[in-house]
Structure 1
Amino acid sequence: MIFRALKAATIMVVLAGGAGANPDFWKHEWPETDFSVTSVASWSEILSGGPAKDGIPALSDPQFIRAGEESRIGDREPVITVEIEGAAPRAYPLRYLTWHEIVNDTVGGMPIAVTFCPLCNSALTFDRRLGGRVLTLGVSGKLRNSDMVMYDRETQSWWQQALGRAIVGELTGAELALVPSWMEGWDQFRARNPEGLVMAEPAYNRRYGRNPYAGYDSSKRPFLYNGELPPHGIAALSRVVRVGDRAWPLQRLRETGVLREAGVEISWVAGQASALDSGNMAKGRDVGSIRVRDAQGRDLAHDVMFAFAFHAFWPEGRWMLGE
């Protein structure tokens, strides 16, 4: 299993307190990255996740088939849904993204990157346009607060996936615009979009549909994370719905169904399997699906991430506990 292999590959780094976490060690692999520019306070914050640069291969130019032609995906299997005006709705199955983490695509003329960090359960979609150019994102193999560090092939700058912000290199401080997307069960997407598109199986030798991180979201502590745990007695690997710098515990939403707070409406319905529970992704426990809309009913960009990751990247963020 990848999760076990990652543990074995990185245990010595952890024991050494981040040995090798410095630009001099990385420059042979990243000769075009400008390490003199960074927003990271200490290089020890960045650790190897195990795989080398592009060891987890991001996808570009993905192929699609009609939803009605897809027969391999289980009804509750999670997909990331992207609906852009003027284009057919698209579903990006986590059975593929768990193994590739980034899909560079163009939808309705908009270049986007659909991303998923399994260790943080963070699924975000970005507009790849920045300052008059289009970036192509890849997987660096590095982690910070257990979250994937991406990189762009144009400048070799490093990007924090949870933030959509460049943290090392020429583009440090730049941010990618978020594109509204959401995770839901395959049957939920298919029922709403019978003529929609779903990403076809990539031409890689991977065990698609298997979860290489079996049991991860039942762990007590996140992988390669040494930061503070969440406050209020919230379990580190419990899910929260993040909108901006606010986080709503998923359990609260599961109990109420719909919440209207802080100018947003958040709804929860059953029907989506956890991608990080059972070894067979289709059989993961039901964590439900979230939609976030504004007062006009428009979909809002959000994330359904683990509580520890929210606390790590938004330490002053607001916990929406309903007190």
Structure 2
Amino acid sequence: MAKPALPTAILFLVVSFAWADPGRWETEWPKTDFSNTTVGNWSEIISGGPPKDGIPAVSDPAFIPVSEETRIEAREPVIALEIDGALARAYPLRYLTWHEIVNDEVGDLPVAVTYCPLCNSGIVFDRRTEHGVLEFGVSGKLRHSDMIMFDRQTESWWQQAIGTAIAGELTGIELRALPAWMESWDSFRARHPDGLVMDEPDFRRSYGRNPYRQYDSSTKPFLFSGDPPPHGVPALARVVRVGERAWPLARVRQAGSITEAGLTIEWREGMASALDTARIADGRDVGEVRVRDASGQDVVHDLMFAFAFHAFWPEGQWMLGN
């Protein structure tokens, strides 16, 4: 069993900013070519506190039938993934909050299910690249408060929010994001009674507890020093990001359904915030979102915080409806 490590959230109390310096990383990252990078200002990258693999990614996770799961409560959020030819899978945030990356294979498709609690960014990537199939871990570094992943094959660094390598041998390579979405456990099991759900990992963690208590009601993101979002949008307001566009969740929630820019975005109640109360199941209802194109197909999107959208897409389009 892996040795327990402090989750990033505990660093609210115990860590101070540790500004990046590639020269100081050579011992920990001897395989990473920091001269090959798209990062223009290394001071954007800081330590989140845990070292490399201090937050342990999960590889080859175990799954159980939906009908056998008794620990997850109805309103708890999961990341739902539906791949043609394979049973639908649910990846509960009660596990991803503590591990942030799950390396899995669905049918013949190798995927990385990722979740950055500090940005509320949950994205599923295809792990296949022109350089082979990659396996990802958590570096312990942050940029604009977003997790920096690394691949175990070359130890290149990857920005989770954009799915792109930002330092190392594979700099500039982009991962293909797959349609996936956050929804309540109740919604997933109702649609997929014969589906699969990720089983509890074999680590000593307080699964079902939220180590980021009341984070998404804060006014300032943790370990973030960038500009606030424009238009008076609160930094920790959720937005529905599709490409370089962002719809404030508050607008979608009020409308129930919005059709514009060739998309239909629907909101419905029933999913708890994973970043609110101490027990994830008790979190306030932030609802769940589905995004489809004009043909009814699910579209790649992210339900991230507004500050992160603005940090990574500073010229992005804000879909405010006015």
**TM-score, normalised by the number of residues in structure 1:** 0.97
Q: What is the distance in 2 between the residues matched to 1:194 and 1:201?
A: 19
Correspondences of 1:215-294 after superposition (within 5 Å): 215-294=214-293
Aligned to 1:130: 129
CA distance in 1, matches of 2:152, 2:59: 12
| CA contact 1:2–1:213 (8 Å) conserved in 2 | no
Alignment match, 2:73: 74
Equivalent position of 2:29 in the other structure: 30
CA distance in structure 1 between the aligned counterparts of 2:17 and 2:307, rounded to whole angstroms = 23
Structure 1 residue 8, shift from structure 2 partner:
3.7
The secondary structure found in structure 2 opposite 1:282 is: helix
Matched, 1:5 2:10: yes
**1:144-163 residue pairs with structure 2 within 5 A?**
144-163=143-162
Q: Structure 2 CA distance, aligned partners of 1:110 and 1:208?
A: 27
User: Percent same amino acid at aligned positions?
Assistant: 64
1-structure distance, mates of 2:157, 2:15? 20
Change (3 A) 1:164 1:3: closer
Question: 1:3: how far off?
Answer: 5.5
Give the letter aligned to residue 6 of structure 1: L
Alpha-carbon distance in structure 2 between the residues aligned to 1:3 and 1:36: 28
> How far off its partner does 1:55 sit?
0.2
Matched pairs, number: 317
Aligned amino acid, residue 241 of structure 1: V
Pairs within 5 Å for 1:78-227? 78-227=77-226
Unaligned runs of 5+ in 2: 1-5
SS in 1 for 2:124: strand
Say if 1:66 and 1:195, in contact at 8 Å, map to a contact too.
yes
Give the TM-score normalised by the residue count of structure 2.
0.97
Asked if 1:54 corresponds to 2:53, the answer is: yes
Map Cα deviations across residues 111-169 of structure 1 (whole Å, 9 max, x no partner).
00000000000000000000051000000000000000000000000000000000000
Counterpart-to-counterpart distance in 2, 1:23 and 1:3: 21
How much does 1:42 deviate?
A: 1.1
Q: What secondary structure, in the 3-state scheme, does the structure 2 residue paired with 1:300 have?
A: coil
Shift of 1:22: 1.2
Change in CA separation of 1:2 and 1:152 when aligned onto 2, cut-off 3 Å? closer
Once superposed, what is the RMSD of the aligned Cα atoms?
Answer: 1.0
CA distance in 2 between partners of 1:86 and 1:12 (Å): 46
Listed as ranges, the gaps of 5+ residues in structure 1 are: none
CA change 1:298–1:285 in 2 (3 A) is: same
